[in-house]
Structure formats: C-alpha cells, structure tokens
Amino acid sequence: MMPFAFQRATALADAFAAAANRGRYVAGGTTLVDLMREGVETPERLVDINALPLHEIRLRPDHLEIGALARMAQVAANADVMRLYPAISQALLLSASAQLRNMASMGGNLLQRTRCPYFRDVTSACNKREPGSGCPARDGVNRLHAILGTSEHCVATHASDVAVALVALDASVRIASPEGERRIPLEQFYRVPGDTPHIEHVLRPGELIVAIEVPAGPHTEQSTYVKVRDRQSYEFAVTSAAVALAVDDGRILDARVAAGGVATVPWRMRHVEAALIGQPLSASTFRAAARLSVEGAVPLTFNAFKIELLPRTLVRALETLETLAVPAL
C-alpha cells in the first residue's frame, strides 16, 4: 500500500476542504482499503467522513431517506424499509457477509468498484484502471462478466446488489459540494463504459453523496430481490432481479424491473415493465415479458448461459410477488 495522510472530518466544510486538498473520502473502507492494498487505488490522503451526521434513515411523507453513512446492516434491519421497501432490505441481506454489512455504508456501496479480476490485478491490462491498456476479459475468463451495456473496451459488471433494487424503485442520490446540493436519479448517476470505462458515474471530484431518496408508491411494498449465485451466501450475483408490482384484481397496474450481475451498470428494464403493465398476473405474462430482458444482449465466450438464466431469474422474482399478491384467506 502507498503511504497516505489521514484525517477525520467532523463537519461538511472540513470534508470539502480536505477533498480539495487531494483527499479521498472513506466510509466503511471495505472497497477502498481493499483496493489500496492491491495497488489499484492510490489516494494521497484519506478523509474519514464517519463523524458527519449522515447516518439516519427517515420515512418522509412521500419518500424514504437513507443517509449516505447508514450501514448496510442498519438499513436491512430497519422496520420501515422491511415493510415498505422489502426489495431494498432483501438485496442488502443477500450482499456480502454480516461483518461487511456492519462496516459498509450505503454511499460507499453505490460507489464500490467492479469485481472483475483483471481490474483488481495491477499486473494485468485493464481499460478501467489504465485507459487504453486493453481489456483481457473480452477473450479471457469472462463467465461472470456482463452481457448488457458492454463496449469493446469494457465488459465488467457493476457489483452492487442494492443499487439494482434502488434503480428499480426510482431512487435518487443527493449530492453535496461547497456550491450546494443537487439531486440525480440513480439510473442517470451511473455511466456505461463506452470508450471511457474509467469514468463510472457523474460525481465530480470532491462531491459527497449525502443521502439516497426512494419515492413512495403503491408498488414498493410488493417488491422483491432475487439473486442467483455460485454459492448460497457471501457471493456476488451471477444474475439478479429487482421487481415491484402494483396489482389490482389480478391485473398489473404498474411495474418496476431491474437486473444485476448482467450489466455494466445497474440495469433498469423499462421495456420489460411495459410488457407487464395492463396484463393479467400470469405465468405467460411473466415469461413473455422476461424474454425481452435479453434483447440486444451480447454474450462472451463463457457467459452466454446468462441469456437463459436472466429471464428465468426475472420470472422467479415475478412469481414470488404473484404469491404475495394472492390475498390471504
């Protein structure tokens, strides 16, 4: 690890000042410390932001507000989140381990880096880590790589589970800087690699995520997250699906669908939603809509199986909600 200076910020102004002085924010450190040890990240100064008052989870009249420093474990176990936004709680509980969920913050989670082994290995080429050096994953070990949103320069997946649930539920991030605050829909926060895979999001240097906001709606209570993994726990997604439905009398009034493990950014699927809305709640509706999820997918040598697995993952998630939609007798 490269030597670095360390300081604790106790007010937003401290944090901004330190960031302006080549500082890098650290919250849980579970991404940053790991990648610093690998030599992938080399900040000169770390700014510990944990003393900032951004830890609260609040239920507002028309949205849920999650402080950027709220821990994954804390959000997953929050009674309002569990009741009104089950997909968020489930996506978190299916992430990482109990220890990591105690450490990791929600803001840091959104900014975690890809688990692509070529990205993590500084002796290997990687356009994300070293622009222009090449992408060995394209013709290498790419079973876990993306089939959607890829470019010839990068095929790495975005690894966050909860970001998939948040993108499905129309979440926004609130971002602060010395100039004030701005709010961006999470879906627009992430950037597909294109020919600049090293640029992953729209956060400007020194900007701080202060909160995540998730709007209320009739669909959020009927939401779920399904994750398919190579082992049952403590593993990243091979494929995953976040879905939410508003249903009345057996008909789908509204739908939200996003997928993980398959795309370079958390992948919202509005065309799948459109194919669900107005249709009867039925297996054939689910299957027809889920088929559309892989339209335009570009498989690599070892991950073509995801073209079959992704629609099945979506159908599984939709079926889970269908069971919930049957009124208890």
Partner 1 sequence: MDSATTSQVQLTVNGKPVTLELDTRTSLLDMLREHLGLTGTKKGCNQGACGACTVLVNNRSVNACLTLAAMCQGASVTTIEGISENGRLHPLQEAFIRHDAMQCGYCTPGQIMSGIACIQAGETYSAHAVREFMSGNLCRCGAYQNIVAAVLEVAEQAGGRR
Q: In angstroms, what is the minimal distance from the CB of 205 to partner 1?
A: 16
Out of partner 1, ligand FAD, none, which partner does residue 302 contact, by CB within 5 to 8 A per kind? Answer: none
**Residue from 48, 170, 200, 213 binding partner 1 (CB under 8 A):** 48
163 binds partner 1 (CB under 8 A): no
96 binds partner 1 (CB under 8 A): yes
**Residue from 17, 59, 100, 141 binding ligand FAD (CB under 6 A):** 100
116 binds partner 1 (CB under 8 A): no
**Residue from 12, 59, 82, 100 binding partner 1 (CB under 8 A):** 100
For 203-226, give one letter per residue: b (16+ CB within 10 A) or e: beebbbbbbbbbebbebbbbbbbb
**Residue from 4, 8, 10, 29 binding ligand FAD (CB under 6 A):** 29
Out of partner 1, ligand FAD, none, which partner does residue 42 contact, by CB within 5 to 8 A per kind? Answer: none
Q: In angstroms, what is the minimal distance from the CB of 33 to ligand FAD?
A: 6
CA dihedral in degrees (70, 72, 78, 84; nearest 10)? Answer: 110
Distance between CA atoms of 142 and 281, rounded to whole angstroms?
36
Out of ligand FAD, partner 1, none, which partner does residue 45 contact, by CB within 5 to 8 A per kind? Answer: partner 1
Q: In angstroms, what is the minimal distance from the CB of 260 to ligand FAD?
A: 8
Helix (H) or strand (E) holding 322: helix 306-325
Distance between CA atoms of 34 and 89, rounded to whole angstroms?
25
- Residue 284, token pair as written in the block: 């054939």
* DSSP state for residue 114 in the 8-state scheme: P
173 binds ligand FAD (CB under 6 A): no
Out of ligand FAD, partner 1, none, which partner does residue 243 contact, by CB within 5 to 8 A per kind? Answer: none
107 binds ligand FAD (CB under 6 A): yes
232 binds partner 1 (CB under 8 A): yes
- Are 127 and 155 in contact by the 8 Å Cβ rule? The answer is no
Q: Given strand 5-8, what is the order of strands in its sheet? A: 5-8, 45-48, 23-26
196 binds partner 1 (CB under 8 A): no
206 binds ligand FAD (CB under 6 A): no
Interactions with ligand FAD, residue window 51-80 (CB under 6 A): 68
Please report the DSSP string for 225-271 in residue order: EEEE-SSSSS---SEEEEEEEEEETTEEEEEEEEEESSBSS-EE-HH
**Residue from 76, 159, 214, 247 binding ligand FAD (CB under 6 A):** 159
Which residue from 75, 154, 58, 60 is spatially nearest to 110, judged by alpha carbons? 75
Q: Which stretch binds partner 1 (CB under 8 A): 29-37, 136-144, 264-272, 300-308?
A: 29-37
37 binds partner 1 (CB under 8 A): yes
Which residue from 25, 88, 87 is spatially nearest to 51, judged by alpha carbons? 25
Distance between CA atoms of 304 and 97, rounded to whole angstroms?
29
Q: Compute CA 159 distance to the chain's CA centroid, rounded to the nearest angstrom.
A: 7
- Applying CB under 6 A, the residues found at the interface with ligand FAD are 24-32, 34, 68, 95-96, 100, 103-105, 107-109, 111-112, 159-162, 208-209, 236
